[in-house]
Amino acid sequence: MARIGGRRCLTALVSATLFLAGNASAEQFVPRIPAEGTVTDGMFYLSLGGAVRVFNLPSYNSSIAFSPSGSPVFETSPSVVTGGGVFTLGMAVPRIGFGVRPRFEVAVGVLFGESSDDGSTPLASIRHPYTGFGPFTASTSSHLETEVSNFDAAFRFKTDFPLGNMLTVTPSIGVVGGRFRSKYTLIMNIVQPGLAPANNAFEDVLRTWSVGGEVGLAATLQLSPAWRLNAGVAGSIVQQHSRLVLADCLVAFGCALFNQSQTFTDRQLDFQVSGTLGATFSWGWGQISIAGLGTWNSDVPGVRRGTFNTGAVGANGIKYDDRFGYGGFVAVTIALP
């Protein structure tokens, strides 16, 4: 396995295996350093990189619905592309009789993004769930803005087990946590024949904190002195605590006719399975790594809005759904002097 330098020189460490721990409420998009021959006892190392993550969120719908079916006038499943940075600080420790190159890492990741969805309906019989309006005949046009911000952190221990000259496996165990915020702003324009348009505004903010544990197994295949392939699988379980604030306003009447706010809290476990694949290229003073991954979460939190035939206000709250996600990452890691 190629060695670039000692403790006082700049050298990059592979960072191709990614792991999103927890759930969509606290996706861990921080680098995991698998097998690498340049890590020596007592060495500190630093990884900096950029990430792209696609959050596929549970469906979101308006409370205004068709009559008599009760189906929402507007419904969509937001998909938000986010971008941000990741940071990892690691320290190799003296050998403890469990593998080679044992090390601890602290990793932090931050992601931001937003998306928009539009929809419209022709003249149809609809009904407002709270004001008692309807059924009445109207057309609608809707615009939804979804904003996402995510902060996560992880503390991990890992070590390497060489299997011959080309292959090394790296088990890991860690504690992960984070905070995920999603904001949904829906403006629905309702037009009744012969009347002025009426705007309904819905603004919902969902915040989720999570903490739990992860286990992972990565593998590094040394193709040449400069090239490596990296792959990994991981699983995690976290406890989520979510807080949802719902707000509604009939804008056409200055919010005086109808203005409602509700708050909900809930707890839910989430399970995640992820797989990663990446490559690393090294040169005289460093290395750069790139990877992609896919994840599955069992319980991603989302917003549940009732309509007139589901109990309206009483049916509002936090819901959960399983979701697949994907993303990518590029990073450079250097050994600190």
User: Which of 5, 11, 86, 88 lies closest to 46, judged by CA?
Assistant: 88
Mean pLDDT of 23-39: 40
Would you say 29 and 306 are in contact if contact means Cβ atoms under 8 Å apart?
Answer: no
For residue 10, being part of any structural domain is answered with no
Q: How many residues does the chain have?
A: 337
The answer to whether position 12 is within a domain reads no
Q: Cβ atoms within 10 A of the Cβ of 325, count?
A: 22
Residue 3 is assigned to a structural domain of this protein: no
- What's the domain count of the chain? 1
Supply the DSSP string of 160-174, one letter for each residue.
EEEETTTEEEEEEEE
Residue 109 in domain: yes
Q: Is the pLDDT of residue 97 over 90?
A: no
Range of the domain at 38: 17-335
Q: Nearest Cα to 106, choosing from 40, 45, 156? A: 156
Which of 114, 35, 24 has the alpha carbon at shortest distance from 295? 24
Lowest pLDDT segment from 132-141, 267-276, 309-318:
309-318
Task: Kindly report, residue by residue over 52-95, the tens digit of the pLDDT.
Answer: 999 999 999 988 888 888 888 999 999 999 999 999 998 888 77
Which domain CATH number covers 311? 2.40.128
What's the rounded Cα separation, in Å, for the pair 35 and 31?
13
Q: What is the mean pLDDT of the chain?
A: 81
Query: 248-295: per-residue pLDDT in tens?
Result: 776 655 554 556 788 999 999 999 999 999 999 887 666 789 999 899
